[in-house]
Every structure is written in C-alpha cells, then in structure tokens.
Amino acid sequence: MRIKSLFVSLIIILQCASTIAATPPKAGAPCTKIGITQNYGGKKFTCIKSGKKFVWDKGVQIVRNNSKSTSNPMPSTSSNPSKSDSVGLDTPKIEQAPWLQPNTFRNLSIKPIGKFEDLTNRYMDFHYLAWAAFQDAASAKVNNPINILIEVGPHSNECSLNAKRAVQLTQNLYSVANLPKKLHLLFFDTVDLDWAKKRTAELTQGSNPAGINQSDINPEGISTSTGEAILWSENSCQALDPNSKHAGDIAHGYTHAIQRFQFLTNFSGPLWGGVPRWLVEGGATFSENVTERGGSYFSWVHSVQFHDQTIKGYDLDFYRSFLKYEKATLSKSAWGPTEAWPNQRSYDVGNLVCEVLIAMKGPAVIINLYSDFAETQDFDLSFKHLFGISWTEAEPYVSQAIYKFVQSTY
C-alpha cells in the first residue's frame, strides 16, 4: 500500500508540473524559473519574482514590421541594412547567439556620444551604440585567451553546450581589461551542492575575495593565491530558458568573477560593496544580454530587457535617488540607495546605466572602474579618472536619459 501511495503521489506531482508547463502564460499565474520567457497571444511574457513566488508578468506586446504605429522608439536604421540583419525583422531572432554569425551592420547616422550633456537630447542613441561597441570588441583579436576547465559533479550532468563559447565571448568583450587566465567551471545538480562547495574551497584555498564586508554573496570566486576564477552552473539540464541554450547565465556569472578579479592587488577596502550595486549587477546583465541577443542588430533593438513593466511607473526622482552614490566604509556598503528599491532594478536599470557608459567608452570601462576603485576606494574619483567628471556630476544626465529612454520604449 505504501508503494502504491508513493506511486500515486508521484503521478499527481508530475501531472501538476506538466499542467504548469503546458498552461499558456497569464499575468499572475505561476511559472517555474525567473527569467524564462514565453510568447502567447501576441505578447512576450517573462517569469518574475513576486514576494516568494515566481509568476508571469503582464506581458509585452511583440513589435512586428507591419505595425501601424508611426513611432519608432529605437534608433532608425539605414535604408539598406545588410541581408543578414534584415532577416527576421517581423519576428526578431532573439535566440541567435552572437558567435554564430559575425555582424558588420552599422548605422552610420548615429554618431558617438562625447559628453554626458549630450545625453539630454540623444537618449535614444546609447542602446544602439552599446551594441556597436560590443560588436567591435567581440570581433577584435583576442588578447586574453582563457583556459577553461570543466568539472562535473559525481552525480550530475552538464547540458550547457555553449558554456565555453560564452566565457570566451565575455573574455573578448572585456579584453583590454585585466582578466583571469584560467577558469574552473563547475557543473552540478542540487544533489552535488556539497561537492561544489568543497571543490570551491579547494580551488580558492580559503582565499576567495567576497562581497560586502567579506560576506560571500555569489558563488563566483577568485583564488587570491593563484588568480584563477571559479564559476558554478547548477541544474543546467533542468533549465528551459534561452540562457541555458546560449549560456547567458554563464556570461553573467563569469562577469562577476572578472569584477572580483580586479581586487586581487588590494583587499584593504570594502571590495564589491564599495561600488554601486547597479554597476555590479548591471554589468553582468549587459554581458548576459549581448550573449543572448547581441548577434543581430534587430534582435537587439527589438528586445530591450526589463524584468517587468513596473519600471515604466517610475518618475525621474526614482532614478536620481536610485543612482545616488554614497561612499562606503568598512561598516557600510555603497548599496544603500539601490537596496531601498525592488531587487530587479539593480539588474535592468543597472544594465541601462552600463549601456550608457559602454556607448561612450567601450565595454572594458565597466571593468576598469573596479580596478581603479581598488586603488582609490572612491567611486566618484575613479569615475573621474575614466570619464573626466565624477559620477555625482554625470548622474543627473544619465538619470534623465534612462528615464526618457524607458518611457519611450515599448
């Protein structure tokens, strides 16, 4: 009877899981993993976290070429885009990874942004310019090759076929910055979590520079004794979202390892907690987004990624408050302004800020801010070293540009 009871319970569980997976997405209905997307009824739905639950958001209308709308929130393209870019305009191919097809299309009518003051009137240009900067960096000759060693837990499987490519793409993206030479990529299922922790401790030799006040906040790490990076990928064979296909999650995590790597020569300050959190998560989200959607100009401009549409409800005062810089101390991080708001804003708003910075100075600048900060322990000063003005001086222009961009974007 007990065996029969267990068998019946298992059937019920499987039926419930199947029902959730097969049910068309509906705002507020349960979903399985944050970040996964599903198209239905002309809308793209994204799984978000609401309280302690994962639910579908309200969905975003899918923009098609035959739309009657006369407004175009994205930078205008040239009249003769390349053939490779024009394919899939009606239904953007957001699943094409950038390493699968080189992209040479450029909108020459959009000139570089030289000063932060220019953002006031050019707030629709930075998204395209960040993509163009990514393309230039990703296609450049690799100056920092990396040795990638994949390890799989004893009771686990590895299903991310593009993991190595995602790491190398990220390495190319920030190639003019200071980067690790070796990465240990640990694939494991939950059953092997203890193995992953033990293996990480062995690789870091107990010398993993962590986040706020030496408290570990992410499984990405750097050994201070060897300079080698360690990255986790958990339950890769269970992931159903495009991140597992094109390894956007790997690119995100490896970017965090690169961020930590910048502190190898200086551990006297608050480390990660000394730079704004929008830079920490926004930079990693940019790496993830270009890995997923950067292969095509049209997939990039037609798939601006917000965690949910509540971002459109924020006024300019929110951005001014969220992006305010407060200098960290050994007992206080610089994350106070961002922690007062929903967690996802550090990712989507942070990504847009990083796009602005990358549009102006190239991808490596968001990593070089860390290496400079490791010396100054003052983000305003480090920002001035790289951009000519402090972050406090630049922030009003950036806030206004992002606010206008979000309000003008579908």
CB 1 within 8 A of CB 12: no
Q: Does position 1 have pLDDT exceeding 80, yes or no? A: no
Q: What number of other Cβ atoms are within 10 A of residue 367's Cβ?
A: 22
Q: Does position 367 have pLDDT exceeding 50, yes or no? A: yes
Range from 147-156, 237-246, 315-324, 339-348 carrying the lowest mean pLDDT: 237-246
Residue 85 phi, psi (nearest 5): -85, -30
CB 127 within 8 A of CB 405: yes
Entry pTM:
0.72
Q: What percent of the chain has pLDDT over 90?
A: 39
CB 151 within 8 A of CB 197: no
Report which of residues 73 and 219 the model is more confident about.
Answer: 219
Q: Does position 156 have pLDDT exceeding 80, yes or no? A: yes
Measure the CA–CA gap between 251 and 253, rounded to whole angstroms. 6
pLDDT at residue 183, rounded to an integer: 94
Q: What number of other Cβ atoms are within 10 A of residue 197's Cβ?
A: 14
Q: Does position 123 have pLDDT exceeding 90, yes or no? A: yes
pLDDT at residue 241, rounded to an integer: 60
Mean model confidence pLDDT for the chain: 77
Distances (CA, A) of 352 to 30, 125, 319: 28, 12, 11
CATH of domain 147-408: 1.10.390
For 24-51, the DSSP string reads PP-TT-B-SSTT-EEEETTEEEEEEEET
Range from 197-211, 286-300, 315-329 carrying the lowest mean pLDDT: 197-211
pLDDT digits (tens, 9 = 90+) for 211-257: 333 444 456 778 877 889 999 988 888 765 655 566 888 999 999 99
Q: List, in order, residues 6 or more apart from 347 with CB less than 8 Å away.
A: 281, 282, 285, 307
pLDDT at residue 148, rounded to an integer: 93
CB 132 within 8 A of CB 100: no
Q: Does position 277 have pLDDT exceeding 90, yes or no? A: yes
Q: Locate the domains of the chain by residue range.
A: 25-62, 147-408
